[in-house]
Amino acid sequence: MTVMGHLAAGALGIETLGMTMRFGGFTALDRVSIRVAPGSFHALLGENGAGKSTLVKCMMGFYHATEGQMLVDGREARVPDPRAAHALGLGMVYQHFTLVPSLTAAENLVISRKDAPRIIDWRSENAALEAFMAQMPFAVPLDQPVRALSAGEKQKLEILKQLYLGRRFLILDEPTSVLTPDEADEVLGHVKALCREGRITVLMITHKFREVTAYADEVTVLRRGRLAGTGRVAELSHADMARMMMGDAELAQPAPRAGEAGPAVLSVEGVRARDRSGLKEIVIDALEVRAGEIVGIAGISGNGQMELMEILTGQRPAEAGTIRVKQTPYHARREEARVKCVRYLPEEPLHNACAAKMSVTENIAFRTFDMNGSGTRFWLSGREMKARAADLVAAFRVKTASLDAPMASLSGGNVQRAVLARELTGDVDLLVISNPCFGLDFTAVAEIRARIMAARNGGAAVLLMSEDLDEIMELSDRVLVMSEGRIAYARAVAEADLAEIGHHMGGHA
């Protein structure tokens, strides 16, 4: 069978020589030469817009490099399109899944094959799949529909699919961004083992230093389309890598904590609601956030954090219980949020807090367009909207080509900056945040965390839901863990124990 034949051939080494990609006058990639040795696990680091994606798209044949060559196993290779890359044994795993949710894992594997027959003989295919899986260091249930698999299993299946298709050089584009830390460790551990066995070579795009140190053999750093540095991971510290990535730019330091916690601003009592599936219940017996403190809610995604956010923003009706802000009942109506100075930063801001096709000016006006001083207005003021947007874009250093550009044309970090500009201006007494730094590069992360801390120091009560435990531990005064729709654990951050938090996150309390 062809699949086995490819596997026997083992890991591929790839080299780029002076790879350059110009789009008109803009050079996205400037003479980048990297060498990925066969069987190695190579990390590709860089900020958003550093040229990582451009480089791998050139390698995969999505782009045609303006200049430069690629060597596959020491021989010059021409890759006019992704199909040619696949034929050479190159494959890519994307940040988001490319599986068909309603089909089983086995069906997904078989239909992904270029030579999948018109009429599939499942008996022989299943036998072949079993033989294939027996050679793999990890397995996923083949007979389940993909939608029933966890995120970690889906990502493992994506990697298995590449191996099944006979790929010997895998490009992983932020493969762990949708995984929990445990799932990420498991998936990357397996990938590392495959490299060590010499079956595949891996080039992984990532933002996470921890993953680089734990799994990669070598690292290449890009900055503004140029090669900023490369080396063996064992010989580099996080500080070295940060310096390569950032150049001389300074990272915003998280503001030091200041001030004591004041009276309770948000109190949630006995709230019950259905979860998204409608099958499970969200139960929040008591949750209190006081002025001048950050309460962090840790937990694996899908344990009710999203529903809690929806209850607090009024998107999901509570069947029982009360939510109070500053001692009076709160229903998340626009007037209430305005009077009580409640602000929200939902996760994935472009998806949940912006209208992608509306302009930056309009998006920045979402919270204030109907305010005229302290009253409300009927007629829109385009001039005031524009002036306000210009001020806020400057104050929060939002990089945009124009105030009239659609929100969707901004990078992820700048979308989040624009939303922060909108929500953190004026008096803030309660700030409810969900995964504020997801998918952002670390200049943006540092800046956004500093702004959250500044809001806390300014006396705001902050409720921070995050899947990033490091973020929770860095920012919170108190840490809670949410598991199966309930708050399973609560401690002041100084007394919190990571192992214990991990147990509660996993639901083994």
Indicate which single residue of 66, 213, 301, 313 sits in contact with other proteins (rule: CB under 8 A).
313
Strands (E), 209-303: 218-223, 226-232, 264-274, 281-290, 294-298
Least Å distance, CB 311 to other proteins, is 12
Least Å distance, CB 113 to other proteins, is 29
81-89, 210-218, 300-308, 365-373 -> range binding other proteins (CB under 8 A): 365-373
| CB nearer other proteins, residue 344 or residue 489 | 344
Instruction: Calculate the alpha carbon distances from 115 to 3, 6, 90, 165, 271 in Å.
Output: 11, 15, 17, 10, 54
By CB under 8 A, residue 340 contacts other proteins: no
Task: Give the residue from 385, 351, 357 showing the smallest Cα distance to 370.
Answer: 385
102-110, 124-132, 329-337, 453-461 -> range binding other proteins (CB under 8 A): 329-337
| CB atoms inside a 10 Å sphere around CB 144 | 13
By CB under 8 A, residue 4 contacts other proteins: no
By CB under 8 A, residue 125 contacts other proteins: no
By CB under 8 A, residue 388 contacts other proteins: no
Indicate which single residue of 378, 495, 499, 508 sits in contact with other proteins (rule: CB under 8 A).
378
Indicate which single residue of 11, 109, 171, 365 sits in contact with other proteins (rule: CB under 8 A).
365
Helix (H, G, I), strand (E, B) or coil at 88: helix
| CB nearer other proteins, residue 196 or residue 357 | 357
The interface with other proteins within residues 29-68 (CB under 8 A) comprises 49, 54
Applying CB under 8 A, what is the total number of residues that bind other proteins?
A: 51
| CB nearer other proteins, residue 91 or residue 346 | 346
By CB under 8 A, residue 375 contacts other proteins: no
Least Å distance, CB 365 to other proteins, is 8
Q: Determine the Cα–Cα distance for residues 251 and 399; give it in Å rounded to an integer.
A: 17
CA Rg value for the chain: 25
137-145, 294-302, 307-315, 494-502 -> range binding other proteins (CB under 8 A): 307-315
Least Å distance, CB 465 to other proteins, is 14
Q: Determine the Cα–Cα distance for residues 379 and 255; give it in Å rounded to an integer.
A: 40
By CB under 8 A, residue 397 contacts other proteins: no
By CB under 8 A, residue 354 contacts other proteins: yes
Indicate which single residue of 67, 285, 319, 404 sits in contact with other proteins (rule: CB under 8 A).
404
Least Å distance, CB 412 to other proteins, is 10
Least Å distance, CB 72 to other proteins, is 27
| CB nearer other proteins, residue 47 or residue 153 | 47
Residue 444 contacts residue 450 (beta carbons within 8 Å): no
Strands (E), 384-437: 430-434
Which DSSP state fits 259?
S
Q: Determine the Cα–Cα distance for residues 113 and 132; give it in Å rounded to an integer.
A: 14
By CB under 8 A, residue 332 contacts other proteins: yes
Indicate which single residue of 78, 376, 394, 426 sits in contact with other proteins (rule: CB under 8 A).
376
Q: Determine the Cα–Cα distance for residues 313 and 336; give it in Å rounded to an integer.
A: 11
Q: Which residue has the tokens 């053999």?
A: 217
Distance, first Cα to last Cα, the chain: 48
By CB under 8 A, residue 369 contacts other proteins: yes
Which DSSP state fits 359?
B
By CB under 8 A, residue 327 contacts other proteins: no
Q: What is the 3-state secondary structure (H, E, C) of 385-396?
A: HHHHHHHHHHHC
By CB under 8 A, residue 314 contacts other proteins: yes
By CB under 8 A, residue 410 contacts other proteins: yes
| CB nearer other proteins, residue 17 or residue 350 | 350
Residue 289 contacts residue 461 (beta carbons within 8 Å): yes
DSSP string, 37-79: -TT-EEEEE--TTSSHHHHHHHHHTSS--SEEEEEETTEEE--
Q: What is the 3-state secondary structure (H, E, C) of 69-86?
A: EEEECCEEECCCCHHHHH
Contact residues toward other proteins (CB under 8 A) are: 23-26, 28, 49, 54, 224-225, 313-315, 332-337, 344, 346, 351-358, 362, 365-367, 369-370, 376-380, 399-406, 409-411, 414
